Structure 1
Amino acid sequence: MPEPRALRGVLLDMDGTLIDSEKVWEVALNDLMKHLGAPPLSTEARLESVGGSLDSSLRICFREAGRDPAGVPADEYRETGEWLYDRAGELFAHGVPWRPGARELLGALRAEGIPAVLVTNTIRVLVERALETLGREHFAAVVPGDEVAEPKPGPEPYRRGAELLGLDPGDCVAVEDSPTGALSAERAGCAVLVVPCELAVPAGERRVQRDSLDGVGPAELAAVLAEVRARG
């Protein structure tokens, strides 16, 4: 691996990367299916939802309930989204377990004065609850999914995260667990450390794969940045 270069900023996904919240979302989505009078999501549909936005999750649920998402009245669509996030909020309130190595990584970044931004498709109100587990002190800023025009897999969330640090995305390492999130970070121009959780993530020119965040600290992230830069 090339000689590491200075690490100036880190952009971190939340669900499935720092906390094991994808299982919480599975419960919430299946409760929504029951609310819609439909059976639980198929395995394929559940995996399709991983890393997605509120809109993409609602579309999947309506589709799996036998309804055309485009034909759902706007008021019902909005109210269903509110129902889903209320249910997820109840589940988040019970606390969400850490992913392996995530707590230690956040502590190491803070100890070395390397700023981090939380970049997630989850809406602000639920992120605020998750921060009770993650610790607000670990983040210079937060980019929630409801505060960007185009959530992941679009590049805007990661571009915004880098902007909040006063950096170019190419000077940042993003840490992601899903194909949707990795694509978003890659499109923004970040180097991406991929640590899969629920889904395998394809390789890419700006991606470095690792099985876990165990043992990952600032030096390892700097090495990811150097490796991606060396590829040109």
Structure 2
Amino acid sequence: MTTSSLPSAVLFDMDGTLLDSEKLWDIAVAEFTRTLGYEVTPEQRESTLGNATGDALRKLFDIADVPEADRDYAGAERWVSNRVVELFDGGIPWQPGAREALDLLGAAEVPLVLVTNTIREVTEHALGTLGRDRFVATVCGDEIPAPKPAPDPYLRGAELAGFASSDCVAVEDSPTGARSALAAGCRVLTVGPEPVADGAVHLGTLAGASRETFRL
């Protein structure tokens, strides 16, 4: 453990947790679903939040009743990823309190790890906003055996930080991500309008977070 009962490391999700980037993904997803001939509803879009790209695309193909033989997952991933990169490069807003929370933990010398289901190619563009030097490691959805909600991403994040996952705190915004972190044995904090998982502590926002917020 580090001093003041802080966790050994804090593992942060990216989209919707640190960055207010889901609205940019919303644009890309809506544009993609129009190529399939339908308009995605807010409820359908919500069902894909926090999902790995392949899982999200499968749900969208299912909703559009695209026959399995006609599903070009690789092409769809390239289309969506390229569009998101274009949108990210136009600037990504921070979530309230997120930058300050990273600074607070960095000043306390708590190692930080970025753990996201987003693929590496897109994550690299987001790191331009986040600041890659803030993190001792980054884990992306296309770099581990099974993405969230499997525990693999958070187990890998804790491993790269050099600590047991049970000594780490994870911060998430989606049910998919929270289930992943809980399954890995992390203490889980969540942000967003509503609680997303039993067993997680719901903060609502990182605005005003203190060292006490992250205490194990």
TM-score (norm 2): 0.94
* Aligned-pair CA distance for 1:200: 4.2
Structure 1 vs Structure 2: percent identity of aligned residues? 46
Where has structure 1 moved over 2 Å in runs of 4 or more? 4-7, 70-73
Q: Is 1:59 the counterpart of 2:54 in the alignment?
A: no
The count of aligned residue pairs is: 213
Query: CA separation in 2, counterparts of 1:114 and 1:77?
Result: 39
Give the alignment partner of residue 116 of structure 1, picking from 104, 107, 112: 112
Alignment of 1:101-180 (within 5 A): 101-180=97-176
Structure 2 CA distance, aligned partners of 1:7 and 1:87?
37
Q: Does 1:90 align with 2:89?
A: no
Whole-angstrom distance in 1 between the partners of 2:88 and 2:115: 18
Per-residue deviation, residues 4-46 of structure 1 (Å, max 9, x unmatched): 723210000000000011111111111111222x122122211
Gaps of 5+ in 1: 226-232
Match of 2:70 among 52, 72, 77: 72
**Gap change, CA 1:71 and 1:217, over 3 Å in 2:** farther
> 1:84-134 deviations in whole A, cap 9, x for unaligned?
111111111111100000000111111111110000000111111111111
1:42-84 CA-partner distances (Å, limit 9, x unpaired): 222111001111111111221222214x4335xx221111111
Superposed CA offset, 1:117-161 (max 9, x none):
000000111111111111111100000111011000000000000
> Distance between the aligned counterparts of 1:137 and 1:192, measured in 2?
24
Which whole-Å CA distance do the structure 1 matches of 2:77 and 2:127 have between them? 22
**TM-score (ref. length: structure 1):** 0.88
Contact residue 117 and residue 139 of structure 1 kept, 8 A: yes
Which residue pairs with 1:46 in the alignment?
45
